[in-house]
Structure 1
Amino acid sequence: MTQRIGIQRRVLLAAALTASALALPGCARYYYGAAASSDPVDLMASNHGAADALLLQVPLDPDTPVLVGTVVQLDRLDESSRLGRLVAEQLAGRLVQRGLRVTELRMRETLAMRPGQGELLLSRHAQEVARAQAAQAVLVGTYAVAPQAVYVSLKLVGAGNAVLAAHDYALPMDANVRGLLAGR
């Protein structure tokens, strides 16, 4: 009798494992295959959510400006793409929607712009720029491209190059994101 119960348990366990294994390929296709890439990434929602997450971490004075630099490639800090510039534009727009003053860097003569790159601010230059522009903080960021996603890291940098807030998020790779990365 004990041997019969042991055999039944093994059969049930084998059936459960088989059912699980059969279900996994469907899940993998849903998350990583064609179904995952069929819905375009909502870049605005992702970037607005990132700005909101930064603002939850630190109180900022609505009367003192914030600067937003172009989000740059992690491995090439002096280069960006249309994606990096679009992310910066959407972050700046969200800060304004939340009641902050954002100084438009392209309107300032004191910052040099590189054609096709945008306003490149590295955190090591953030304090100098913030002081020159009388800003309370500078929003800087990097992105890294991987096969399935673009990973974005943002920092609000204040006086003394102190990181006031930080947020990381991923943008799943789809045709829109790929196209923005390819464009200069």
Structure 2
Amino acid sequence: MLSSLRSCRRLLPTIALSLTLSACANLPGMGNDDPPPPPTLNEVIEEAAAEMVEANPGLERYDPIIAASFADIDDLSRSSTLGRMATEIAASALTQAGLDVREVRMRGSLFIQEQTGELMLSRQAQRLTANHGARAILVGTYAQSEQNLYMSMRLIRSSDAMVLSAASMRLPMNNDLRGMLGW
């Protein structure tokens, strides 16, 4: 009996180590081959905005900027909750990067159609930017497929429509995105 007890005591560290390692294998990043969660709308837009600023460090020369609702690539006169939310996220990211983004909805001079937003790609950009003193416009488009959402955003100089900086994004389609698109 005493020898069995000694054998068990010698096995205890081995058993404890084995249990610890098997428990660690189930922790995130520890021997687990599960793919990381897909990026969120916020994450991809914020990363794209950072890339735009990094690609053209002199963007502050084109302040102030106004932001237009991202439009459906198949109908530039139409947006969605997703398009309006994408604009909000992008404008916030550019503001956090130090750019002067003006809130055009605070003024009565820009007509905003309910359920559409302020669509710049289908409007007279020169008139609107002059009314708001903007030297650049943030515009964007999106397209949906069965499995992905594709988005593009550009910062455009208002005086001559020259693209100052641009970024493209792709997100795997999920129920949140479908809901914002009105599916």
Q: Deviations over 1:88-109 (max 9, x none)?
A: 0000111111111111121121
User: Of the candidates 31, 48, 52, which is equivalent to residue 54 of structure 1?
Assistant: 52
1:60 and 1:77 map into 2 onto residues whose CA distance is 26
The yes-or-no answer on 1:140 pairing with 2:143 is no
Match of 2:149 in 1: 150
Larger of the two Rg values belongs to structure: 2
Match of 2:173 in 1: 173
Query: Displacement of 1:121 after TM fit?
Result: 0.7
Task: Give the RMSD, CA atoms, in angstroms.
Answer: 2.2
Match of 2:98 in 1: 99
Structure 1 runs (4+) deviating above 6 angstroms are none
Q: Note the residue ranges of structure 1 that are not aligned, 5 or more in a row.
A: 1-34
Percent identity, aligned pairs only, is 36
CA contact (8 A) 1:68 1:138 kept: yes
| The structure with more helix, counted as a fraction of residues | 1
2:65 and 2:49 map into 1 onto residues whose CA distance is 12
1:110 and 1:117 map into 2 onto residues whose CA distance is 16
CA contact (8 A) 1:64 1:135 kept: yes
Q: Look up the SS of the partner of 1:138 in the other structure.
A: strand
Q: Note the residue ranges of structure 2 that are not aligned, 5 or more in a row.
A: 1-33
Amino acid across the alignment from 1:100: L
2:44 and 2:72 map into 1 onto residues whose CA distance is 18
Q: Deviations over 1:55-86 (max 9, x none)?
A: 12221227931111000100111111111111
Match of 1:21 in 2: none
Give the structure-2-normalised TM-score.
Answer: 0.73
1:169 and 1:75 map into 2 onto residues whose CA distance is 17
1:64 and 1:91 map into 2 onto residues whose CA distance is 15
The yes-or-no answer on 1:113 pairing with 2:112 is yes
State how many pairs are aligned: 148
CA contact (8 A) 1:143 1:151 kept: yes
CA contact (8 A) 2:76 2:122 kept: no
Query: Displacement of 1:171 after TM fit?
Result: 1.5
CA contact (8 A) 1:123 1:157 kept: no
Give the structure-1-normalised TM-score.
Answer: 0.73
Q: How has the CA–CA distance of structure 1 residues 60 and 162 changed in structure 2, closer, same or farther, with 3 Å as cutoff?
A: same
1:63 and 1:71 map into 2 onto residues whose CA distance is 20
Correspondence 1:34-45 to 2 at 5 A: 39=37, 41-45=39-43
Amino acid across the alignment from 1:96: T
Match of 2:125 in 1: 126
Q: Look up the SS of the partner of 2:99 in the other structure.
A: coil
